[in-house]
Amino acid sequence: MTELPVMNKIEEIEVGLSFEILKALQAPFSRKEFLQSVLPTLLRSTGGAFGGLVSQRSGAWAVECWVGEKRPFPSELVGESFDRSGPISANGWVAVALTRSPHRGDTPSEASPASALVLRLSDASGDYESAKNVARIQSAANLLSAALQRVDAHDRNVRRIEQLSAVLRAAAQWQQLDDDEALLQRIADTATKLLHCERASIFLWDRRRKKLIGRPALGVEGKPLEVDDQAGVVGEVLRSGEAKLWNTNSDDDEARVNRSVDQSLEFQTHSLVAVPMSNPSNPVVHAGSITNANAVGRADLIGVFEAINHRSGAFDHLDMAVLSDLALHAAAAIRSMQTRKSLTVSRDRLVNDAASATQLIGNHPSIDQVRKNSQKVAATDLTVLVLGSNGTGKEVLARHIHYESNRRSGPFVAVNCAALVESLLESELFGHEKGSFTDASQTRVGKFELAHGGTLFLDEVGDMSSGGQAKLLRVLEEKVVVRVGGSQTIPVDVRVIAATNQPLEQRIVEKRFREDLFFRLNVVSLTLPSLSKRGDDILLLAEHFLEHFSYQIGRAIPQFDALAKQRMLSHPWPGNVRELRNTMERVCYLCSEDTISAEDLMLGGNAALSSNASRESSFLSNAPETLSDATRIYQVAHIERAIEICRGNMTEAAERLGLHRSNLYRKMRQLGMPTSGE
């Protein structure tokens, strides 16, 4: 009888086997690679001529890895080794069932498959079947079993990491979509791909109707598929809040499946996994670990995510974990899309309201032309310069362009450049960093940043300081802002519409306005004519304002008599549309008659002037010598009187004088009047 190494150098060989197993465990081997590397040594060390590992698949024993001569193995011996939970030998064959102690956290079906080591010994007539050798084979099998569990756990972890990163990648892409049908389709496609199955769908729960609605639409002829919320495996998931598996070739009960759905879709379900989808604001469950202990509460359920027909037969617990991860992200993506949609609807409604409140009223050919040109310019991002006297509607036109442009959903931000001194204007426009000057206790975002994605209206741009002009030019050219006291450049996407009532060309000659900035702003210029040059638009606007104020105070809309109309058409309207608007407001409040006469209009300042007649006559008797002094003194007195009549309300006083509030302050500063209220 030949002496085999296994009989002679047992310890040495066993140590060799252990070493081989340890070495293989260090390498990033899959289960198959591990077996291929270790089984030859194991065979040698146990005196096996050929043999391998057999595992249970679909209820039968099949070879998983074999070394040496390929011969049918005695499967009854394998079954017996399991029954006895120990090694068994017969006719030169030895079978040892490998122990399966589940890993911490594994569900039973996550544990390694039932496997056994099957060996054909080198010399069936020898001592190899001796109790000593069989015990040695048993200890080698134990070593193999422990190592395989490590390898399987590693395999599972690798698969899980791959799946999780695939889920995260997919979820990030879902956030980019803004159509809900496309989103649901993409979610279903991701699940189909990751779970290697034929179909996946989301069933959203309509609690009121006790129905589950399949999305994306699976239904015949494009109709959504609706199922009873109690029926089938999805019904089980809703009732229990737990994930469920069903595989046709296992012992699963056929009655659990809702075959009527198969019939209506002409489909045959042979395996499915379904997991609950819960409200993302109540993430009670850690995805991938849905067990009885932490089932989703019914109140938080929004539906069920289902995958059907695994391409290689059956779904397992890893598939369930992946689908649960997907469900968590899908619920968040669906919720965020719903929120975005409802925000978009509200935003559009607000934008439409704002747009209809900013009507550019007028049919005069000059206004028609402005409207046509503004329509053209609205479609571009060009800078626009709006010219016109005070109150001609420059801001109205700027808003009109904004709401006609594709920036209409973005912000419209207006800044009056004349209202602020140089240092404040810069911080207003470009923002400032905390501590950049004495009063800068907080970082402040400037109007340019606030108008990002929208339109910035720079009113009275002709009054901007030279420092402000230089900075503005830089922003327009470079499309970045630097906050006062900051160094970081902040990109801004803003369309600028500037307006002025100043003759900019003249200010350029006087070196009070930069020529380069003028060219930068004046890419397109639109001029609004004075109201007195707009013919019948005066009446159109008057009726519009009268209707507006009558509605506001809840009175019937009065009519103008013929003389009133004539009076309005012949009035010079120095304060333009603003003056007309104020006149209509006054008439609406003060004249309670159904018909408005020319006197009711109180044009020409009769109302205020008559009560101050004595003051004026004394002014005339003490009139200064030069015309400019006389004009200045008159202007001061006139402004003081307006402020007095309006009891110090500067906005009202400005409107009364046909000026914008900021222009009133500018005028007062020019005249050397105190402007403490500013």
Q: Which residues bind ligand ATP (CB under 6 A)?
A: 359-362, 388, 390-396, 459, 501, 577-578, 581, 660, 663
Closer to ligand ATP at the Cβ: 156 or 581? Answer: 581
Minimum CB distance to ligand ATP smaller for 305 or for 549: 549
**Identity of the residue, 21 or 419, whose beta carbon is nearer to ligand ATP in the bound complex:** 419
DSSP secondary structure of 313-348: S---HHHHHHHHHHHHHHHHHHHHHHHHHHHHHHHH
Burial class (CB in 10 A: 0-12, 13-18, 19+), 316: middle
Q: Residue 56 or 530: which CB sits closer to ligand ATP?
A: 530
Least Å from the CB of residue 548 to ligand ATP: 9
Cα torsion angle, 503, 509, 512, 518, sign: positive
CB of 458 to ligand ATP, least distance (A): 11
- Asked if 311 contacts 196 with a C-beta cutoff of 8 angstroms, the reply is yes
Query: Tokens 């206004």 belong to which residue?
Result: 367
Q: Give the angle subtended at the CA of 359 by the CAs of 357 and 363, to the nearest 5°.
A: 155
* Residue with smaller CB distance to ligand ATP, 444 or 507: 507
Sequence-distant (≥ 6) Cβ neighbours of residue 413 within 8 angstroms: 447, 450, 451, 454, 455, 456, 457
The dihedrals phi and psi of 595, each to the nearest 5 degrees, come to -120, 135
Taking residue 131's Cβ as centre, other Cβ atoms within 10 Å add up to 10
- As measured in angstroms, the least distance from the Cβ of 481 to ligand ATP is 24
In terms of DSSP bridges, do strands 455-459 and 412-416 run parallel, antiparallel, or are they unpaired? parallel
Q: At its nearest, how many Å lie between ligand ATP and the CB of residue 189?
A: 52
The neighbouring-strand residues paired with 197 are: 310
How do the residues of the chain divide into helix, strand and coil, expressed in percent and rounded to 5? Answer: 50, 15, 30
Closer to ligand ATP by CB, 315 or 545: give it: 545
Shorter beta-carbon distance to ligand ATP: residue 81 or 501: 501
Give the residue from 425, 405, 566 showing the smallest Cα distance to 494: 405
Contacts of 466 (CB under 8 A, 6+ apart): 512, 514
Give me the least distance between CB of 225 and ligand ATP, in Å please: 53
**Minimum distance from CB of 632 to ligand ATP (Å)?**
22
Tokens for 551?
């509605």
Least distance between ligand ATP and beta carbon 668 (Å) = 15
DSSP state, residue 7: H
Half-sphere exposure in the Cβ direction for 527 (13 Å, CA): 9
Closest approach of ligand ATP to the CB of residue 661, in Å: 9
Least gap, CB of 412 to ligand ATP (angstroms): 12
**Which of 133, 416 has the CB closer to ligand ATP?**
416
CB of 414 to ligand ATP, least distance (A): 9
Q: Taking the complex as a whole, how short is the minimal distance between the CB of residue 396 and ligand ATP, in angstroms?
A: 4
Nearer residue to ligand ATP within complex by CB, 241 or 362: 362
Query: Which of 328, 267, 270, 340 shows the shortest CA–CA distance to 303?
Result: 328
Q: Which residue matches tokens 């972890």?
A: 157
Angle between helices 627-645 and 661-670 (to 10 degrees): 140
CB nearer to ligand ATP: give 359 or 606.
359
Nearer to ligand ATP (CB atom), residue 20 or residue 459: 459
**Smaller CB distance to ligand ATP: residue 231 or 360?**
360
Measured CA to CA, the distance from residue 89 to residue 126 in angstroms comes to 13
Length of the chain, in residues: 678
Judged by beta carbon, residue 17 or residue 367, the one nearer ligand ATP is 367
What minimum distance in Å lies between the beta carbon of 588 and ligand ATP? 14
- Judged by beta carbon, residue 64 or residue 655, the one nearer ligand ATP is 655
C-beta of 622: minimal distance to ligand ATP in Å? 33
CA dihedral 80→86→89→95, nearest 10 degrees, is 70
Asked if residue 59 lies in contact with residue 176, where contact means CB atoms within 8 angstroms, the answer is no
- Dihedral sign for Cα 189, 190, 196, 199, please: negative
Least Å from the CB of residue 496 to ligand ATP: 15
Q: Is the Cβ–Cβ distance between 359 and 393 less than 8 Å?
A: no
Which pair of structure tokens corresponds to residue 350? 């607000």
Of 346 and 359, the one with the shorter C-beta distance to ligand ATP is: 359
Minimum gap (Å) between residue 467 Cβ and ligand ATP: 23
Q: Please name the amino acid found at residue 316.
A: D
DSSP 8-state secondary structure symbol assigned to residue 361: -
Do 435 and 485 touch, CB atoms closer than 8 A? yes
Question: Which one, 332 or 385, has the nearer CB to ligand ATP?
Answer: 385
Q: How far is the CB of 666 from ligand ATP (least distance, A)?
A: 11
Q: Is 65 left (phi over 0), alpha (psi -120 to 50) or beta?
A: beta
β-sheet bridge partners, residue 557: none
- Cα–Cα dist 632/663, whole Å: 16
Nearest-approach distance from CB 663 to ligand ATP, in angstroms? 6
C-alpha 467, offset from chain centre? 39
Spatial neighbors of 433 by CB under 8 A, at least 6 apart, are 440, 443, 483, 484, 485, 486
Which residue's CB is nearer to ligand ATP, number 217 or number 361? 361
Please give the residue whose beta carbon sits closest to ligand ATP in the complex: 393
CA distance 38 to 137: 14
Nearest to 501 by CA among 570, 409, 574: 574
